[in-house]
Amino acid sequence: MIGKEIRIERIMNRNTGRSVIVPMDHGFTLGQIEGLMDMTRTISEVSEGGANAIVLHKGIVRRGHRRRGRDIGLIVHLSGSTTLNPDPNDKVLVCTVEEAIALGADAVSIHINLGAPNESKMLEEAATVVKECNRWGMPLLVMIYPRGKGVDPYAPSTVGHCVRVAEELGADLIKTNYTGDPVSFGTIVAACSVPVFIAGGEKAGDLETLIAIRDSVRAGGAGVCVGRNAFQRDDPRAFVEALCKVVHDEVDPDEALAGCR
């Protein structure tokens, strides 16, 4: 799997084995939202802040990726759904691994919602993507969440189930919810053989976000995939810089924020 190893080096910090990934696929789901109106500018800001990689849909890659400034890893997202659908948790494939290769991707990502009505279809499609990723030596980031009627999205049992499903499918990297507790999250990470990232979630306070990320990293997490909590800041570059200090340098959140203002 030398191809996967080479590509993973482009989206992970070699010294720490961790990564700060900024997903920017939200426009597909939510439309023209704050922070993603000028994609060229936003990509440049998070790149300058030190992010290791970004997540884009295939049609947005041309909007400024790697044209100037600091290089940044590219993860092409293969899944999509919109909030106009009665069930926005029903993700379908809207891109292929081969298309992502043609775009110069360093990795691809898919989205799975365990507990959703169409869970079986998402799992079946994921299996197909895993097969193609193994064929082409393309790393796969599986974004997997507990979502469905009566499902607690942050319970250690359901988050742990998500991580195990992704690992058993053949994920190279996993993104899921943080349980809110470093002890329970640490148990989940310790039982998994591939890097586990926490999702940034909806926009929250600067310090609150960084504390959760610090705790997850101390528990053995591989870093963070943070979207709205990064690109919707007044100064995305500065906040991503603070994220990188917490994830890679293990700087205290207060100190990291102070150093970036």
DSSP 51-117: -SEEEE-GGGTTTTTTSSSS--EEEEE-EE--TTSS-TT--EE-S-HHHHHHTT-SEEEEEEEETST
Rounded CA separation 80/94 (Å): 6
Nearest to 26 by CA among 152, 216, 201: 201
Q: Provide the annotated active-site residues.
A: 25, 145, 175
CA-wise closest residue to 160 among 190, 200, 125: 190
Show the CA angle centred on residue 82, arms to residues 81 and 86, nearest 5°.
100
Of the candidates 210, 229, 195, 238, which has an alpha carbon nearest to the alpha carbon of residue 23? 229
